[in-house]
Chain A
Amino acid sequence: MILKRKYRYILVRSSGDLDAGMREREILSEVMKVIGELEYSQANPKIASQYTPRLFTIKVNRGYEENMVLALAFVRQIDGKKISLCSLKTSGTIKSLMLYSRKLSA
């Protein structure tokens, strides 16, 4: 039997524009500093998609979304810039976050 791995998607808003090339590596390394390597490997966060320079989605394994939301609150600096990350909405599908982000930018 093959079990399908389920994910949770978190819509994140940054206080400043993020450079596309550096974004994933820098953000996730800051998150790892807060939650630790063990928790990070279990949560397996990835940046799933970006809607605007300030709005993007993080994908995590189900069950670790709450820790990820809290970890994002502790991130205050990315690549030497003072930037904070606010989680706006958590969902099980990327589509609902896309619709929500459209509503926000409208």
Chain B
Amino acid sequence: MRPRSADLPTRILGLTLLLGVMALAFLTLRILLIPLVAASFVAYLFDPAVVALQRRGMQRGSAFGLLLAISLIAIITFLALAPSWLRLESLNANSESFTDRMEKQFGEMEHSISQRFPMFQSVHLASKVNQKAGEFAAHFFEGLPALITSFTVNLLLVPFIAYFMVRDGRTLRRRIVSLVPNRYFEMTLMMLHRIDRQIGGYLRGRIIECMLVAVTQIIAMGIAAAFVDQPQILLISVVCGATNLIPYVGPLMGAGFGILLYLGAYGLPMSAVLGLLAATLVAHIIDNVAIAPLVLSHNVDLHPLTVALVLVIGGELLGILGLLIAIPVAASMKVVAQEIYANYQLQTRLEE
């Protein structure tokens, strides 16, 4: 019999290979996680329309291509024909001009506060806030080219991945299920079916909610624009809609982006900021009262502490885009866990 130690080099080699494969998988996942998740959002969003076209005899891939083309044409037409107050404007700002404008704005704000409330004279709000805002601006403008590059790459990659997800997703799922041993085959098939239905319902609901929030924000800011200066309505509304994916802090982040833009890049007075805040508040109230109850049939509640932890992890791993996808990914993982537990409970109940 060969001694056990003779296997040691083979084991070390095997372990090294395994670690290498794991590291490679992690890196690939880290690079591709955002486009993969975004593509699955797109695939789930388009699925009901793809099914409707499939009923009319169209192939899934062609149906998705057609819908994507229609959506792109609709977006381009909208951008071309939108009224002047809604058009995207070029943003001419850099780290220095941003810091200067912020300093001026906060200096005026501090002056006005110290005149009305003399006890706050020793606080020196402007210098403190300006230092932080300056650091943030430097960091933001440094990372901006990389963010734009990554966004552009994802913009091209996402429809490509989504196309294959829509076209081959079901076949792939069948192939995976076919590999499951007979004993667990039915259980796996049913579980995947329920998970797919739940996640599909949840993601579609959230994406439609975000779109409606963006539209509400556009209308509210449009009304505010009649009274105060409100530039970049479309950009701010789209950001508010996207950040709405994040519970609790999402609307604040959207409004925060708008405030920084108004004060730092445009140097607008406080009345514009108040108009933006009022519009965001109105959009948030309409979302909570009317949009969310109507759209979210498969609501997945996450504990506030879970939300905070998930956001920290998402932000640390993948930055701003990580923050956006963290909650839907966590909610989907919760649905998977719930389904596995429900299946286990059903099995236990039936065996009793």
Query: Do these two chains interact?
Result: no
